[in-house]
Amino acid sequence: MDDIKGKIPTIIAVIAIIALLFIVFYLVFEQKSEYYVQVDNSKIEQISRTDNMKYKYTLTGYNKNGNSKELEFNTSRELREGAYLKLDVMLLRGVINWKEVELNELPEKTKKVMNNE
């Protein structure tokens, strides 16, 4: 019985560490949100002439509920002015992927907020 009482703090610590690892894994690799932006080439900054990612955009993005967030992402080329992009955003890593979408692919609340800017 005393052996079990002595091991309880160790067991609790191991369980806490495993739970913490799962939370960190979720935040770094699994948790993802979608935001939508409209390309504004006046908000571009050239960051390199030699690397693959030559430009950095800083744009206001909107999620499906119309909530806004300032987002930064790098590209290898200047993007088409006025194009709509869907950005995959992770809490700790930022923008991990983007693709051009059509206006009719934007969520309704996002369209409303973007048209009223």
Same domain, 64 and 44: yes
Which is nearest to 62 in space by CA: 41, 83, 94, 85? 85
* Same-domain pairing of 40 and 12: no
Q: Are 100 and 60 contained in the same domain?
A: yes
Span 38-93, pLDDT tens digits: 999 999 999 887 788 899 999 999 999 999 999 999 999 999 999 999 999 987 78
Pairing label, strands 33-38, 84-90: antiparallel
pTM: 0.73
Which structural domain, as residue segments, surrounds residue 99? 33-115
Q: What is the DSSP letter of 26?
A: I
**CATH number of domain containing 65:** 2.40.50.480
Domain count, the chain: 2
Specify the pLDDT at position 2.
61
The answer to whether residues 39 and 82 belong to one domain is yes
**Domain co-membership, 99 together with 58:** yes
